Structure 1
C-alpha cells in the first residue's frame, strides 16, 4: 500500500545541528503566529526545507470542525467558515474532532485559482448557490504555509499570500459573486539570495528574516553527514533516539503558548526598541511591533513572565535586518548594524 503523507518519516527537529537562528525564528512564530512569519534566506543544501518540515512534528493538536475544508475552530468566530457560523447561529450540533496542525507546501508553478480557490459560476448561476472550490489558503488555515524558493514566485502571488497572512481572510470574487473564508496561517518562505531577492516592500511584510549559511566547522559537518546517513538507513530507530527531546520541546511550546498572554515588557524597554528602530531609519512601525512580539515569545519560551534586554538582543536582528535601507557601499552585515545600534541605545554589550 502506498504510504500516506503522514507516514513519511520526518527528520527530528531536535537532532538538527546548528542553524540556531532559523530554528529560533520558527519556534517563536509557532508560539505567537501574529509575529508574521519567517523569511529564511541562505545557501543551497543548508537544511531549510528539512527544518521547516521537522517543525510540524512538534506542533500540538487543535480542535477542528469535522469534515470542514477550512479547519474551522469550533469556538472562535474569527477562525470559522460562514457555514459553521450559520450552524452555530441556528443552534445546530457542530461535530468536533482533533487533528495535528497541518503544513501546506505551495508549489512554484501554482496558479492564483489553485492558491485562492475558485467559484463555479455555472453552478452559481443555474442553481443559485455559491459553489466554492477551496484552494491552498483554505487548507492552510490555522496551520503553516511553506513556500520554497519564494523569491522565484510571481510578485502578484506573493502579494496575495502576504495580504491573507496579514488580514487572516481570503476573498475570492468572480463576476459579482464574492466568497470569504478564514485564512490565518504562519507564512514561511525560503530562498537562495543568488537566485534573486524579494522586493523590499514584500520583504518588509515578513515578520522575521533568518539567514542560514553552510556550516564551516569540519566536526559539525561530519556530524551532520553521519546523522543524515543514520536517518536514511533506519528512520524509525533514529527518530526513537530523539523522541524524549522531541516530546520535551513540544511540551515547552505548548506551555509557552499558554503563558504568552501574561508575559510583560516594561515601558522603558518598549521605548528603547522604538528608539533603535527610529535611529536605524526603519520605515513604518512593523519593526517595533514584531520586535515586541518576538521578545515576549522568547521570554515565554524560556518560562519567564518578564522580557529582559537579552531577549531583545537575541530577536532584534531577526526582526529588523530586512527592514534597513540598502546601502551599496556598506560592507557590514545588516544584523550586526542592528546589534551595534542596540548596544548604543541600551548601553548593553553583546560581546
Structure 2
C-alpha cells in the first residue's frame, strides 16, 4: 500500500517545512517532532521518505529503528556466519548503513537508550560511521535524514541530546472544526482507496520532489553575506543560547531555505525561518514556560541585529602609532617654537600637612 501523500497533509506548515529543509541539507542535523498522539507525526515522516527517494533516485527509502534495537544492530557487527564458514573476519552492516541516502526514523526517541541516541546523532552529524570492535576496523558512509518523534507526556530528552537535534517542531491538533473535518475526510478517503487517493496527489508530490532535487543542487552555491552572518551571531547572542551549535545550525538552515526558495543569497527572511526552527529548544527558559519562540521577541532581536553597528576600529593601529583621535586631542605646537628646547612644566607644590602630635590616653582606675 502506498504511503499517505506528503502534499495531502492538512495544516502543519512548519512541520512540513522543517522536514523539507532537512531533505535539502541533511547536515542540518535532523529534526525532532514533539507533539501529542494522533497529530500526523509518523505520517509526515513516511511521506517525506517517498519524496526523497523520488528526488534522489535512491532505493534507501525509510528505515525505522525499533526501541529494542541493540548497538550491534544499529552500527553493525561481526559476520559470524562467514567467520565460521570461511575463517575470515567480515563486517555485517547495521541500520545506519541501510539508511544511507534515505530517512532514518526513530519513533518515541525519548524512550531510546541515551547511548544509542548518541550514536545516531554522531552519525547524522559526521555522515560516516566508524566501527572498532571484535578485531574489525571499518568505516562507511551514512548520510541520512534523521527524524525523531516523541510525545512530551512520556518524558523529555536530556538537554545534551536535545541540543544536538538540528531543528525542533511542536505540533498540536487543530481546534478549528473545519480543519478537523477536512482531516477526517482526507484520511477516510485514503483508507477507502489508497491507490486512487495517492494518484490524485501524484502531481503535487512530484513537484515537491523536483524542488527538493533543484534545491540540493543549488545549496552549495548559495552565498551567506557577512552582514547576514553578523545578524545570525547577534540573534543567537540575544537569545542567550549555550555554545556555538545554534549559530551553525541557523546558518545551515538559512542557506537551505534560500536554496528551497531558488535564491542564490541568504536574506533576512531565511534567517527568520531558521531561527523559528533552530532556537526554541536551545533558548534558556523556565520549566513552566511555553515551548516555542516568541514572535515579538524574535522581531525585536532581528531589528536590533540588523541595526548593529560595525565593530569599533582598532585602538592601536599597526606599526605602534598613536590613533588619530589622540593626535587631535594633543596640544598643538606653534611652528615658530619648533626646534627650540621646551622649558619643563612646573607644578605648584602641595601645601604642607599639619604636624602630628601624640596624646596620652588615660583610663580612670587603671595603673
TM-score (norm: length of structure 2): 0.78
Whether 2:14 is the aligned partner of 1:30: answer no
Taking structure 1 as reference, are residues 54 and 121 closer, same or farther at Cα in structure 2, changes over 3 Å only? closer
Q: Matched residue of 1:335: which SS?
A: coil
Q: Distance in 2 between matches of 1:333 and 1:156?
A: 26
Q: Matched residue of 2:51: which SS?
A: coil
Q: Which among 85, 89, 103 is matched to residue 62 of structure 2?
A: 103
After the TM superposition, which residues 130-279 of structure 1 pair with which residues of structure 2 at under 5 Å, given as runs? 130-279=89-238
Q: Which among 283, 286, 303 is matched to residue 324 of structure 1?
A: 283
Taking structure 1 as reference, are residues 274 and 247 closer, same or farther at Cα in structure 2, changes over 3 Å only? same
Whether 2:296 is the aligned partner of 1:335: answer no
What is the CA deviation profile of residues 142-166 of structure 1, one whole-angstrom value per residue up to 9, with x for unaligned ones?
A: 2211000000101111011111112
Q: Which among 26, 37, 41 is matched to residue 44 of structure 1?
A: 37
Whether 2:278 is the aligned partner of 1:285: answer no
Q: Deviation of residue 176 (structure 1)?
A: 3.5
Q: How many residues align?
A: 306
Match of 1:17 in 2: 10
8 Å CA contact 2:231–2:302 kept in 1: the answer is no
Gaps spanning 5+ residues in structure 2: where? 308-367
Moved more, 169-178 or 246-255: 169-178
8 Å CA contact 2:121–2:164 kept in 1: the answer is yes
Q: Matched residue of 1:216: which SS?
A: coil
Moved more, 318-327 or 187-196: 318-327
Q: Deviation of residue 175 (structure 1)?
A: 3.6
Taking structure 1 as reference, are residues 244 and 125 closer, same or farther at Cα in structure 2, changes over 3 Å only? closer
TM-score (norm: length of structure 1): 0.81
Gaps spanning 5+ residues in structure 1: where? 1-7, 64-97
Q: Matched residue of 2:4: which SS?
A: coil
Q: Deviation of residue 180 (structure 1)?
A: 2.1
Structure of larger gyration radius: 2
Taking structure 1 as reference, are residues 23 and 291 closer, same or farther at Cα in structure 2, changes over 3 Å only? same
8 Å CA contact 1:62–1:100 kept in 2: the answer is no
Over aligned residues, Cα RMSD in angstroms? 2.2
Taking structure 1 as reference, are residues 133 and 101 closer, same or farther at Cα in structure 2, changes over 3 Å only? closer
